[in-house]
Amino acid sequence: MSNTTNVAAPLQHLAIIMDGNGRWAEERGLPRVAGHQQGVRTVVEIVNECVRQQISCLTLFAFSSENWGRPESEVETLMSLLLEFLASQRQRMLDDGVRLRVIGDRARLSATVRSALNVAEEETRDGGCLTLVLALSYGGRDEIVRAARQIARRVASGEIAAEDVDAADMASALDTAGLPDPDLLIRTSGELRISNFLLWQLAYAELYFVDAFWPDFGPVELRQALDDYRQRRRRFGLTAEQTAAGEGLSNSAS
Ligand code: FPP
């Protein structure tokens, strides 16, 4: 690729840590569930905006492996909201060419949730505009451990030699196999952490932290983040001259 202006590579993959639902509700004297309900409305708006912006992949951190430790009633609420989301957005996803994909430890999800996710993934499999990746029961360390076990099994069976294992093998053993690495990570609610999200895949992502709570993060705020991203100069460990010449603009380990 030749590029003499050293601009950011096009944004293919956006990842978001949707934080602040609880505080949004608390500020209004509402129960936390109200924040999550409003958070789902924001999910719908942001998915639509990503389709409009021709972003090809959006990964949302919807439920972390640590979230299992929340009060049972809150976990149940989040799972119900997920099921409602899948039912209410089914037709829209099909119409808009949105393909659903799930990452995380599915074994911990209930049979009902697993089955609804399987159906949605199957039904939307031909969606060619946006891949919507929901990280559910997801933890970056857990994902890396599962990938390492998979590779260890291949080594133990003699399929590959330990010294031949490389970053591409690792990338293709992760839940995100086949997806480009995120170009931009957004976290809402003013927290400055990545909280065990996509630890391997975020290696070269641009980071964007915004004070707005997730329910207040709409298309306008998303466009501001995208504008900010377009001003960034990504170097992938190379010199400014090299990136100006178009080297290293691919953000993928695979
Ligand atoms: C963080 O807010 C948000 C979550 C733990 C869950 C995110 C879930 C949704 C937006 C709804 C379900 C998702 C889909 C895709 C239908 P928090 O509760 O940690 O907020 P706090 O830090 O202010 O307490």
Q: Could you state, in order of their start, the residue ranges of all structural domains in the chain?
A: 13-138+181-233
Mean pLDDT within 33-50: 98
* pLDDT tens per residue across span 117-155: 999 999 999 999 999 999 999 999 999 999 999 999 999
**Contact yes or no for 214/43 (Cβ under 8 A):** no
Beta bridge partners of 101: 133
* pLDDT tens per residue across span 173-203: 999 999 999 999 999 999 999 999 999 999 9
Q: Is the pLDDT of residue 250 over 90?
A: no
Which residue, judged by its Cα, is nearest atom 24 of ligand 1?
22
In the residue annotation, 216 being an active-site residue is answered as no
Distance between CA atoms of 73 and 152, rounded to whole angstroms?
A: 38
**Average pLDDT value for the chain:** 93
The CA 163 to ligand 1 mean position distance, Å, reads 41
82 lines ligand 1 (CB under 6 A): yes
Q: Is the pLDDT of residue 249 over 90?
A: no
Q: Within 13 A of 60's CA, how many CA atoms are on the CB side?
A: 21
Q: Within 13 A of 185's CA, how many CA atoms are on the CB side?
A: 23
Which helix H or strand E contains 209, and what residues bound it?
A: strand 206-209
Rg (CA), the chain: 19
Angle 120-140-107 (CA atoms, 0-180°, nearest 5)?
Answer: 45
Catalytic residue chosen out of the listed positions 19, 96, 175, 181: 19
Distance between CA atoms of 86 and 93, rounded to whole angstroms?
A: 9
39 lines ligand 1 (CB under 6 A): yes
Query: Can you give the pLDDT at residue 240?
Result: 75
Identity of residue 174: L
- List the alpha helices (DSSP H) in the chain: 21-27, 32-52, 72-96, 111-123, 140-156, 167-173, 219-231, 240-244
Helices 111-123 and 72-96, axial angle in degrees (round to 10): 10
Q: Under CATH, what is the fold of the domain 13-138+181-233?
A: Undecaprenyl pyrophosphate synthetase (3.40.1180)
Pocket test for ligand 1, best of 30, 33, 36, 134 (most atoms within 8 A of CB): 36
Report residue 201 as tokens: 């895949």
pLDDT > 90: percent of the chain: 87
18 lines ligand 1 (CB under 6 A): yes
In the residue annotation, 181 being an active-site residue is answered as no
81 lines ligand 1 (CB under 6 A): yes
- Please give the number of the atom of ligand 1 that sits closest to the Cα of 25: 23
Pocket test for ligand 1, best of 16, 19, 27 (most atoms within 8 A of CB): 19
What's this model's pTM, rounded to 2 decimal places? 0.93
Where is average pLDDT lowest: 97-101, 163-167, 222-226, 247-251? 247-251
Q: Could you tell me whether strands 57-64 and 130-138 are parallel, antiparallel, or unpaired per DSSP bridges?
A: parallel
The CA 117 to ligand 1 mean position distance, Å, reads 18
22 lines ligand 1 (CB under 6 A): yes
Query: Can you give the pLDDT at residue 244?
Result: 72
Which residue, judged by its Cα, is nearest atom 7 of ligand 1?
62
Distance between CA atoms of 80 and 60, rounded to whole angstroms?
A: 17
